[in-house]
A and B are shown apart, each in its own frame.
Chain A
Amino acid sequence: QVQLVQSGAEMKKPGASIKVSCKASGYTFIAYYIYWVRQAPGQGLEWMGWIDPNSGGTNYAQKFQGRVTMTRDTSISTAYLELSRLRSDDTAVYYCATLRGAVPGWGQGSLVTVSS
């Protein structure tokens, strides 16, 4: 059974950075991209980018270029999202997801609150 388990909620001050983790189980971690999506309060879903766990290659949405870094540790089947220079409008739930063939699977989400 595919599972993506994310790290817990965090509160940060503007200008700080966050690092969210996403631990995969139930499938071969390096076989499928890990995608990151966020959802601000009361808003829709926004794709942030993906990482290929096999090669480490990444593709970031233009909006986040220069502020986002996606990495992975294949030894523990875990992907990471790091977002720097946080602003109040980065307050959101951050989700990791994967796509095995045609079937997506999602983590439970990690709430990040940015407030002074």
Chain B
Amino acid sequence: DIQMTQSPSSLSASVGDRVTITCRASQTIYTYLNWYQQKPGKAPNLLIYAASSLQSGVPSRFSGSGSGTDFSLTISSLQPEDFATYFCQQSYSTSWTFGQGTKVEFK
């Protein structure tokens, strides 16, 4: 299985901060990488697909980059509604695997 290593596991930030979360795959996954936001009690909400494509309806402050094995999600200016947990997921293999998650909390 492809292992996905996400970092950090948590971070503290303030409204307006620029936040970057990284995800590394154990082998190349080209650009088959998706990012999700999840709030308590809710299903994962797709933010970015194919490493850098913004899902319809998602604010432009979210962006994704990377290819091969190294990827990142950036929130350019953190908003109050962005405090949540973020996951990466590889869909290169049909045996999906996920990062462990990054919890973004108030500083």
Partners in one complex: yes
B94 touches A45 (CB 8 A): no
User: Interface SS of chain B: helix, strand, loop or mixed?
Assistant: loop
Mostly, the A contact residues are strand
- Total of A-B residue pairs, C-beta within 8 Å: 47
Contact present for B100 and A102 (CB under 8 Å):
no
Instruction: Count how many chain B residues have C-beta atoms less than 8 Å from C-beta atoms of the other chain.
Output: 20
Contact residue among A33, A93, A104, A105 (Cβ-Cβ distance under 8 Å from B94): A33
From B53, which residue of chain A is reached at the shortest CB distance?
A102
Binds A, one of B18-26, B43-51, B75-83: B43-51
Interface residues of A in 76-116 (CB under 8 A from B): 93, 95, 99, 102-109
Q: How distant is the Cα of A112 from the Cα of B19 in the complex, in angstroms?
A: 34
Contact of A47 among B43, B44, B98, B100 (CB under 8 A): B98
Indicate if A31 sits at the interface (CB-CB under 8 A).
no
Distance, CA A59 to CA B49, complexed state (A): 23
Q: Is the CB of B98 within 8 A of A44?
A: yes
Q: Which of the residues A35, A37, A102, A107 comes within 8 Å of B32, measured between beta carbons?
A: A102
User: Quick check: is A11 within 8 A (CB to CB) of the other chain?
Assistant: no
Chain B interfacial positions (CB closer than 8 Å to A): 32, 34, 43-44, 46, 49-50, 53, 55, 87, 89, 91, 94-101
